[in-house]
Amino acid sequence: MSETKWEYKIVNHSNSTTMGYSNPETEDFKEKHKDKDWKLEMMNIAINKLGHEGWEMVGINGNNEIYLKRKI
C-alpha cells in the first residue's frame, strides 16, 4: 500500500496579484503582450512555473480557481 503524501494548493487566476505579480509588473506585462490576451498569457506562465515546482493540475472551476497537488 502506497503512503504517498500530497500537499494541495488553490490558485485564483482571475487577477494578476493572485498569480504573484505586482501592479507595476502587471502593467509592464500588459504592454509587452498587448497584441495577445495578456491574462491568458500570464495564466499560462504562472501554471508552467508551478509545474516546474512540481505542482500538478487536478482541476479548474468556473470561479477562476485552479486546483493543484504535489508530493511532499
pLDDT in tens, the chain (72 residues): 679 999 999 988 887 787 778 888 888 988 998 898 888 888 888 889 999 999 999 998 888 899 999 999
Q: CA-CA distance, 24 to 27, in Å (whole number)?
A: 5
Domain ranges of the chain: 6-71
Q: pTM of the entire structure?
A: 0.75
Question: What are the cell numbers at 15?
Answer: 487577477
Pairing state between β 65-71 and 6-12: antiparallel
